[in-house]
Chain A
Amino acid sequence: MKFNKFLLVLLAGFFTTIGFSCKKVLEVQPNSLAAEENHWNNYEDAKGGLIGIYTLMRTAMVADNTHWLMGDLRQGDFTSTNRSDLKAIIDGELNASYPVIQRVSNWKRFYSVINAASLFIERSREIVASDPRYTPINNQVDVAQARALRAFAYFYMVRIWGDVPLLITSHDGDFNTHPRTSKDKVLAYATSELLLATKVLPFRYGGNDPIFPGLYYGANWPTWNGVLFTKLSAYAVLSHIAAWQGNYLDCEVYTKYFLDNITSLNGDGSFGVKYISVDELTENVNGYSPFAFKRAVQIVGFGFEYGNGEATANGHLEQLTLAAPLILKANPEIFIPKDTIRKAFTDVNDLRFSIDPLTKLYRKNYFTNYSSEQPIFSKIKCIGSAQISGNFALFTSAVLFTRYEEVTLLRAEALAVLGQRDEAISALNRASALRGIKPFQSNSSSDVIEAIFAERRRELMGEGWRWYDLVRLNRIKKNNPAFNTLLANGGIYWPVSRDILSANPSIKQNPYWN
């Protein structure tokens, strides 16, 4: 009797337990991650991996407003209203210990791009074998983009820190430390990678591109333009690397290719590229605004599309420059003082900014509230769904590295340095043709190089160029003793963040900041 009962219970216990076999209990697929063995298997993995590199690059450029903090502040036109950290950058005290300065001087975020790109280059070909939808040509184009982005990240870092460690493989799962590599070597590598990429990169994705026709990941050119690196994006970056190295011969060659092929970006049912008017530049005109939406005019740029939930507060110049009456904030964090504005915009017909000598009215494209002590720099103003004013202070302007006008001015610079004065002047005048200013006369006694950089200062104000332009200008001119000291001592480079130095003893601080 008792024995039977015992058996019965054991059986009951056994059956209740068997439902939860070990395997079922312990094999749980996580929701928020893909394990190694489930990745690099199909088409979607390739697309996710590729987009991942772009997102990381965007983050690297905009995190804590890096692009503008590093590009526009130091010795630039802006003044800090009352933020001591921004003032320290403007004054070149880059070793000040503010949290923002600590964060932007950490290069980790660029190496995330580099690691993701290297990993993609190494691993994505596995998908070709496992998913027939992923064609070898598709893979080659994707790898070319990864190469171009990696090279771009290296160039962006070299501009900031000079020598940086050069890693050309992902070292996936291997966390060895690496010393800094000379900047020339890094830039040479970036150049070679970009040249490799230009052989494969199409002019357009998803359309009738001669190299790579047909839908790209199931989508057409209107979906992809302004999003992905094209052949011309790569050439634009190549031109800049060459210019930064002082290699204006190559710069001239690359910019020529760029300008000769610019029309390849047009077609396939989307907005193309042209020299844009001032209103198109500053008033978020649909189709050709280089900041609002994602458009072909953003030769190298990374968008924040409102409709996709990509609007953010940080990561845009607007966070620093806008204030009432455009948004509700009382004071901007940085502004351009009136004196500086008047010095930069000398032509009374300049459509970007000028004061009508008769009516005393000023043009509002670049500045709002010019009459006040703190004019609002309102050239870039994508508020919410690309509105030019509003209460909802999440911004959607793209972070823009270069556009058509910028590359044209770079070509003018290259030609001028190479002594081809007439061609240089013609490029300069072409870039500024729609700005209402008097063309630069070939018989003018003014220095054409100075004129090109003055135009760059006006045209590219707030686009993260001023500091790098000053470096190139002073490398060409060498007429500013203080700047020459900076150039000679590596003072043009940022200090490396303490976090980097403490995690990797083989990295040495830039000597200027010791």
Chain B
Amino acid sequence: MGKNFTKIFCFLLFFAFAAKANSNKHVDSKIAFNVNLLMFQQDSIQADTSIKDSIGRSIRERARFKGNRDSIKVSTARNLPNLSLQQMIKGNVSGLYVQETSGEPGSEQSMIIQGSSTPIFTKKDIYNMQPAVYVNGVYLVQEHPFAYEVQKYDYNRIGPATNLLANVDIDNIASIEVIKDPVSLAKLGPNAANGAIWITTKAAKSGLREISFNSYFGMVQAGGANTVNGVFENKFRQPFYQKYASQANLNNYASYLRDSTNLDYFGKSNWSDLYYQNAPIFTANLGITGGSEKANFRFFGSGTKNAGNADETSLTKYNAFFNINMMPFKWLTVSSFLNASRMDRDRNKNLRDRYAEVRYLPDFVNPLSPNKDNYQLFLNEYSKVVDDNRNNLLNGSLSLNFKLTPKLNFNTAVVFDYNEGIRDAFFPTTLMDGINFVSGYFGYNQRFGLNNQLNYQYDLNKDNVFDFEVGQSVQGDTYKYNYARGYDGNSDFIKINVVEGNSNDDDYLNAINNFYLFRYTDRTRNGMMSFYGSAKYSYKNLLSFGAIIRRDGSSNGQPDSRWITTPAFSADWNLKNQFLTKNKFFNQLNIGASWSRVAKIFLEDRFGAGPQYRSEYGWYEEPTIPTFGGFQGITRPYNTGWVGYGVSLPYADRLNISASSTMLNNRISTSVTLYNRTNKNQLLNIPVSGESGYTSIYKNGMEINNMGVDFDFTATIIPNEKALSWTSGLNLNYNKNELKALPDGLSELVIGDNKLKVGKSSGSYWLYTNNGIYNSDSEVPTNPSNGQKLAFNGLTLKAGDPRWVDYNGDYNITDADKQFTGDRLPKLIGGWMNDFKYKNFELNFHLFFALGQKAINQFDASRYDFANRESANDINSIKEVTTWQTSDKIKTYPIYNVWSNVIPYRADQDLFLENASYVKLRSVTLGYDLTKSKFISNAKLGFRRAYLYLTGSNLLTITNFSGTDPELINYTGYYNGTSLPIARTYTIGLKLDL
């Protein structure tokens, strides 16, 4: 902590000096700190509007990516009540896939650009493929997955588990670009190995003071549910008991369903009245820009409340942003920004999620009652719960640009990002069978970087222009958390864990005679150092060639292989200028190709160390037992996998070939990019023979290829400026994933319930084929060679068991009979955006779709597998209140013998595999531009712009999927029905520019 504050303090001090050092006559050193002062000083600043914003322009020119086609239409996005970056870009850019796995506001979300580079078997894998997000050149630091090591379940990360990218406020953003071009990515280096998202905030600019005010108010609509009670459940179970139950099974009939006079379970099922509720959402923000040519500023402040329509979930955030640009000398530009936010999240009351953190499972024999009155009792007890989740985020940069000669430019920037998460939780005894629970979490992620660049432009002659750049950067990350969970406190009134504060006491930092405490703390740091040089050559306006070579070193690499040198090349050809200068049809026509190799740095520090010792000796059910006999043991990493010497850094090879053109007086613009990305030399944790004592060993050599096409098409279909106009934009991505190689030249590999096979997609399911049911023992085929009946892993199949296909004909259904079928990730994704304008009205609607992906309906699997689920008394036995509902879409399956030892309703068969393709109507916005309306313009209120709009979001889903929503499928492809719905939202908003 202290260290960070020191760093931040140093930064502020530097900032202050920088402010002091400027020679601007109009602005004194208070500029850095006193916003109010600035606002009212406006009058004294002689604004010169004739020279337009030269500092701002020079800064924007330095932005490395301009004119990129893969930017989202920010003006449209500003009308939507989206909370997170992921939501803002979803369906807007070709090749970028965002799936909201929960409708809970502020919960973690992910992005995948142009297919997945690794198999997704656990939640941790998702962290490893997130694109880098930059805000004004600051590479944002995200949560580190290392906390999962001390967790038993990976449903949620410990701590607030808030999506840190919910911090982005669209009203303060000038542009969001998704960078997919190999050479541009190479310039960003290993950070951007998974692609990058480049956000530029609205910048300070000189001129008359400008104020913009934006606000919306809206409602999320309560979802409805077709609720059921014990009668439904009994009816569902009846056929199983009639067909297969033994006396013992009958005796063990679920106790809560036994007594049909019990109103708790057989009364009115109206829990949904309390569970699903309309909730208000709103935001208000204010942006102010102003200043002179020599110094100008922007301030932005906002407050937002977003809510879900279920379980009283919400997220509140406050954001303050401050940007100053100064030009103390002609040759020096100073620009800096500081962005601070706070997010508070009210999380769900989902029992599975809460018990997963608690890691203490009481008896689940009697689930929550579907009755409202009973559910209210639960909610009353839940009101004693403490569940505080807070994130504080601060990022910023200070950059100095020296124009040494007209052609030589030096830029240096200090960037930092710090965010901390704090979570306090307490669950009273009344909710957990007489035991209470407390937990406290504090964690921070911190990144500090220094980037230096030197540019030189060399014009050989008019036709031959060179651009040279050399750069160097240093980046240091620190991730840390302290976490404690405690049980069985003395009373429900002491809701925090009080520890002994006297450092001389033997019990220093131990709980004072109260909770039974487990404590975890970890810290990981990594450093990266990069050097690069780039050159660009353009010949007239026809051809340009670029090349980059860079060398990166990472502390997470092994000493002998932590440095890696990677090149990149590009070539662009302007066909329009070359051949079609006279052509009227084409306004622009370019083709280009670019290739790059970029290293991908390990997230974890374990690989840099080589063979190592850790303290890991827990088991599946108890992964974090601390000691034996009170002493900590040190062992090889038997559970997490052997790391040997010779682990080297993976890298991605990308090749893009693209063509773009605009036609018909710029009415149509289109671009096609063929991409081919191969992630090579990737580490894979390969299962090893158990005799080694290890579960697995990390080995380099996995190679995954994603090949596909991005297609963008925009057309002004009706160009009429005066009356109705219509613009339509379509983006599409088709992706094909293929596993090219496995470590050690293996051709296939089984990892748990998954199999990787060279030549197949790495996201493919691997399942038994279900072909019906054996109604009698005599239907089970017999092996003519030895008279043995068909078996499932050695267990003879009987009446009531599924008819699984025995592909290899050995009369034993084993792993060898599992087939590759269906894919987790969609084949085709895209969005379709339409803008209509009529006079002062604007209508916009946005459709997006994902086609070709499959999902395992685990919710149905466990619904049918009730016998095993209820008796196991594990985390999967939990029956949420939301399970007291059904739907018209719900599927029915054959009635198998649920008590059979083959587990007929196992999830690893194609019985539960469903098509999860969908098309969604994401939003419809109707806007009215008040500025042009007479009564406003006549009133002469001085608005530059006044805009009123109505928006409906998440309005419609078209899908064959039988669950509630095909987006609510977790990353590994399982639909388990526990996610909160994505709420339909209606907002009315106003935008004023003064």
* Interface residue ranges, A against B (CB under 8 Å): 2, 5-6, 9-10, 12-13, 16-17, 20, 22, 24-28, 30-36, 39, 45, 47-56, 58-59, 62-64, 81-85, 88, 93, 95-98, 103, 106-109, 111-116, 119, 165, 167, 171-173, 175, 177-178, 223-224, 226-228, 294, 302-303, 305-315, 328-331, 333, 384, 391-394, 495, 497-500, 502-504, 507, 513-514
B867 within 8 A of A: yes
**A84 and B868: CB pair below 8 A?**
yes
Extra A-B contacts (7), CB below 8 Å, given A97-B795, A173-B611, A309-B518 = A28-B555, A32-B605, A34-B614, A82-B252, A93-B795, A108-B690, A109-B619
- Tell whether A55 pairs with B474 under 8 Å between CB atoms, given A35-B609, A173-B642, A309-B518: no
**A20 and B871: CB pair below 8 A?**
no
- Tell whether A22 pairs with B529 under 8 Å between CB atoms, given A84-B871, A88-B901, A302-B628: yes
Interface residues of B in 28-46 (CB under 8 A from A): none
**A53 and B633: CB pair below 8 A?**
yes
21 sampled A-B residue pairs with Cβ under 8 A: A6-B408, A10-B410, A25-B555, A26-B527, A28-B526, A59-B617, A81-B252, A84-B871, A84-B899, A93-B795, A96-B901, A97-B795, A107-B691, A111-B690, A177-B689, A305-B630, A329-B873, A392-B435, A393-B435, A394-B360, A498-B793
Which of the 9-residue segments B84-92, B101-109, B592-600, B692-700 touches chain A? B692-700
**A329 and B363: CB pair below 8 A?**
yes
Question: Chain A residue with minimal CB distance to B908?
Answer: A97
> Contact check: which of B412, B527, B688, B872 meets A503 at CB < 8 Å?
B688
Q: How far is the CA of A55 from the CA of B624 in the complex (A)?
A: 12
**A331 and B410: CB pair below 8 A?**
no
Closest Cβ–Cβ distance, residue A490 to chain B (whole Å): 14
Q: Note all chain B residues with C-beta closer than 8 A to A314.
A: 619, 621-622
**A97 and B872: CB pair below 8 A?**
no
Q: How far is the CA of A393 from the CA of B360 in the complex (A)?
A: 8
> Contact check: which of A12, A83, A106, A226 meets B871 at CB < 8 Å?
A83
- Tell whether A17 pairs with B472 under 8 Å between CB atoms, given A97-B901, A112-B693, A313-B622: yes
Count chain A CB atoms within 10 A of each CB in B249, B402, B635 and give the residue with the most: B635
9 closest pairs, A vs B, by CB? A115-B693, A52-B633, A48-B634, A108-B690, A391-B434, A504-B689, A63-B619, A314-B621, A96-B901
**A20 and B524: CB pair below 8 A?**
no
Q: How far is the CA of A175 from the CA of B906 in the complex (A)?
A: 33
B367 within 8 A of A: no
**B618 and A514: CB pair below 8 A?**
no
Q: Note all chain A residues with C-beta closer than 8 A to B919.
A: none
**A97 and B902: CB pair below 8 A?**
yes
- Tell whether A227 pairs with B618 under 8 Å between CB atoms, given A111-B691, A119-B636: no
Count chain A CB atoms within 10 A of each CB in B476, B612, B615, B636 and give the residue with the most: B636
Q: How far is the CA of A249 from the CA of B902 in the complex (A)?
A: 45
**A64 and B620: CB pair below 8 A?**
yes
**A328 and B434: CB pair below 8 A?**
yes
Closest Cβ–Cβ distance, residue A376 to chain B (whole Å): 14
**B693 and A108: CB pair below 8 A?**
yes
> Contact check: which of B554, B610, B617, B691 meets A56 at CB < 8 Å?
B617
Interface residues of B in 791-811 (CB under 8 A from A): 792-795
Question: Chain A residue with minimal CB distance to B906?
Answer: A97
Q: How far is the CA of A484 from the CA of B307 in the complex (A)?
A: 68
**A175 and B688: CB pair below 8 A?**
yes
- Tell whether A97 pairs with B793 under 8 Å between CB atoms, given A30-B608, A55-B628, A391-B434: yes
Q: Note all chain B residues with C-beta closer than 8 A to A178.
A: 689, 691
Closest Cβ–Cβ distance, residue A54 to chain B (whole Å): 5
Closest Cβ–Cβ distance, residue B709 to chain A (whole Å): 37
Q: Note all chain A residues with C-beta closer than 8 A to B331.
A: 5
Q: How far is the CA of A95 from the CA of B362 in the complex (A)?
A: 30
Count chain B CB atoms within 10 A of each CB in A47, A50, A106, A394 and give the residue with the most: A394
Q: How far is the CA of A250 from the CA of B121 in the complex (A)?
A: 51
Question: Chain A residue with minimal CB distance to B633?
Answer: A52
B48 within 8 A of A: no
Q: Note all chain B residues with C-beta closer than 8 A to A56.
A: 617, 633, 635, 638
**B630 and A308: CB pair below 8 A?**
yes
- Tell whether A308 pairs with B610 under 8 Å between CB atoms, given A52-B634, A96-B901: no
Closest Cβ–Cβ distance, residue A25 to chain B (whole Å): 4
B174 within 8 A of A: no
Q: How far is the CA of A211 from the CA of B339 in the complex (A)?
A: 69
Q: How far is the CA of A303 from the CA of B26 in the complex (A)?
A: 75
**B609 and A30: CB pair below 8 A?**
yes
> Contact check: which of A28, A175, A498 meets B525 at CB < 8 Å?
A28
**B488 and A308: CB pair below 8 A?**
no
**A502 and B815: CB pair below 8 A?**
yes
Closest Cβ–Cβ distance, residue B578 to chain A (whole Å): 39
Count chain B CB atoms within 10 A of each CB in A9, A34, A330 and give the residue with the most: A9
B351 within 8 A of A: no
> Contact check: which of B361, B365, B631, B642 meets A331 at CB < 8 Å?
B365
Count chain B CB atoms within 10 A of each CB in A33, A84, A113 and give the residue with the most: A33
Q: Note all chain B residues with C-beta closer than 8 A to A27.
A: 555
Q: How far is the CA of A55 from the CA of B618 in the complex (A)?
A: 8
B225 within 8 A of A: no
Q: How far is the CA of A64 from the CA of B528 in the complex (A)?
A: 42
**B792 and A13: CB pair below 8 A?**
no
Q: How far is the CA of A178 from the CA of B689 in the complex (A)?
A: 9
**A513 and B619: CB pair below 8 A?**
no
Q: Note all chain A residues with C-beta closer than 8 A to B405.
A: 2, 6
Q: How far is the CA of A302 from the CA of B629 in the complex (A)?
A: 8
Q: How far is the CA of A223 from the CA of B625 in the complex (A)?
A: 19
Closest Cβ–Cβ distance, residue B191 to chain A (whole Å): 15
Q: Note all chain A residues with C-beta closer than 8 A to B792.
A: 97
Q: Note all chain A residues with C-beta closer than 8 A to B642.
A: 173, 175
Mark each residue of chain B from 509 to 531: 1 if its CB lies under 8 Å from any CB of chain A, else 0.
00000001110001111111100
- Tell whether A308 pairs with B629 under 8 Å between CB atoms, given A6-B408, A28-B527, A52-B635: yes
**B555 and A114: CB pair below 8 A?**
no
Q: Note all chain A residues with C-beta closer than 8 A to B606.
A: 30, 32-33
**A310 and B627: CB pair below 8 A?**
yes
**A84 and B750: CB pair below 8 A?**
no
Closest Cβ–Cβ distance, residue A100 to chain B (whole Å): 9
Interface residues of B in 362-399 (CB under 8 A from A): 362-363, 365-366
Closest Cβ–Cβ distance, residue B896 to chain A (whole Å): 13
**B618 and A59: CB pair below 8 A?**
yes
Question: Chain B residue with minimal CB distance to A44?
Answer: B634
**A9 and B410: CB pair below 8 A?**
yes
**B634 and A49: CB pair below 8 A?**
yes
> Contact check: which of A10, A165, A308, A394 meets B487 at CB < 8 Å?
A394
**A330 and B255: CB pair below 8 A?**
yes
**B690 and A503: CB pair below 8 A?**
yes
Closest Cβ–Cβ distance, residue A481 to chain B (whole Å): 22
B145 within 8 A of A: no
Q: How far is the CA of A51 from the CA of B619 in the complex (A)?
A: 16
Q: How far is the CA of A116 from the CA of B642 in the complex (A)?
A: 13
> Contact check: which of B146, B433, B689, B794 meets A175 at CB < 8 Å?
B689
B450 within 8 A of A: yes
Q: Note all chain B residues with C-beta closer than 8 A to A85.
A: 868
**A25 and B528: CB pair below 8 A?**
yes
Question: Chain B residue with minimal CB distance to A53?
Answer: B633
Count chain A CB atoms within 10 A of each CB in B518, B605, B625, B868 and give the residue with the most: B625
**A330 and B363: CB pair below 8 A?**
yes
> Contact check: which of A224, A226, A228, A310 meets B625 at CB < 8 Å?
A310
Q: Note all chain A residues with C-beta closer than 8 A to B615.
A: 48, 52
Question: Chain B residue with minimal CB distance to A509?
Answer: B794
Count chain B CB atoms within 10 A of each CB in A25, A36, A329 and give the residue with the most: A25
Q: How far is the CA of A38 from the CA of B774 in the complex (A)?
A: 61
**B794 and A177: CB pair below 8 A?**
no
Interface residues of B in 425-483 (CB under 8 A from A): 429, 433-435, 450, 452, 472, 474, 476
> Contact check: which of B474, B555, B622 meets A17 at CB < 8 Å?
B474
Q: How far is the CA of A314 from the CA of B871 in the complex (A)?
A: 16
Q: Note all chain B residues with C-beta closer than 8 A to A45.
A: 634
